[in-house]
Amino acid sequence: MHVSDGITYNYNVRRLEVEGGDDNLNADPISRWTWYFKDDERWTKYSKKNADKVNKAYESGGTTVYFEAGNQQYTLNFSDMSQINHLYETKRYVCRRPVKQIKSEDVEKYREEKPWLHNKTHRLVTVSEETDSEEYKEISELFQSTLPDGAITQLERIENEICRGAFARKNDAMVKRNSNKKVEELRLFHGTTQNKVEDICRDNFDFRLSGTRVGHIYGQGAYFSKSAKYSNDYAQQDSVGVQRMFVARVLVGSYTVGENDMPRPPFKDIVDKSKGFYDSCVDNVDNPTIFVVFDNDQSYPEYLITYTISPHNAHSNRYSTRNSSNQPPYSNPYLARMHSLSTSPSPTTSLNSIQPSNNLRNEYQVP
């Protein structure tokens, strides 16, 4: 472009075109997307398979995604929109562009795929219909690796764009506070009750309800565990013996051992508070099993597992048959044992004589 009003200006202008036919003034503005990488001075389009994979990761709020092209392996980083070749370590910039305008007749179909476009916050997509899919295998193996007696009756993926977007923005904020270094993210378990499932799918885990059912030993936040067996203790059975557990993506970041009266993680350095807070609390810094976060946006409920436990192991769920009686919930076996003895002590057993085993002492830091 050349403009002159006494001064000459030079601009490089490109016209963005999308595939999909003639311009249509009635076309809906929603678009499909693909990806390009810059090879020297030209932009090369991704294959549909890789573009779909990258899009899925991008729209789910991920920070990176791995893919293969030919015999080469790549990692795409969304923070600086670049891809790295694993073998040659070459870096190419990437971009995302619309592929096809959706015409008005396609809008309703698209809205079925994106329920939040018409006043629905989320949808559940059944994954367990294809038990040979990589997605099902990955989650079921993660679940059964620590709970082998758990029989999955249904596995559903939760799609909630509002919560997923908040999770992605929280990750970006934590990365910036961490000198632009990657923040540790884990897939963790969270056992729940049937009447809480819809609330969590819609509004995420609410740390403000901490302690209302299971107490808060390591802080007044939302609790997650690496072990499905541990979370199974808080997945209360319904009237027919079915239990429910979430698989969540959790930004654990930096962490320290929590205490029951903590409303947030402590400062990293009480003398130099400019170093900020820890991101989460745990039961054991060296080998953490339990993680507590105090910000709803640090977690995202990714999958809902509906399952049963083999009958001969049904007694393993400490809270499956517990009602709202006067028995308090203890996630610490030592404290639970102390309570049971205090309410119905053996005639020959003194509470003062009870000592935790070394395993319990180490795991729960009982003095």
Q: For residue 337, what pLDDT is reported?
A: 41
CATH architecture of 8-109: 2-Layer Sandwich (3.30)
> CA nearest 203: which of 68, 301, 80, 58?
301
- Pick the closest to residue 218 from 228, 204, 230 (CA basis): 230
Alpha helices, DSSP H, located in the chain: 48-59, 107-113, 134-144, 161-177, 197-203, 228-232, 333-343, 358-364
pLDDT tens digits along 204-240: 998 776 555 556 789 999 999 999 999 999 999 999 9
Instruction: Report the topology of domain 120-314.
Output: Phosphoenolpyruvate Carboxykinase; domain 3 (3.90.228)
Tokens 């990365």 found at: 175
**What is the structure's pLDDT at 329?**
43
Tell me the pTM: 0.57
Contact between residue 36 and residue 97 where contact means Cβ atoms under 8 Å apart: yes
C-alpha dihedral, 22 to 23 to 26 to 32, nearest 10°: 90
Q: Where are the domains of the chain?
A: 8-109, 120-314, 332-367
Report pLDDT digits (tens) over 244-293. Answer: 999 999 999 999 999 988 999 999 999 999 999 999 999 999 999 999 99
Phi, psi of 348 (to 5 degrees): -105, 5
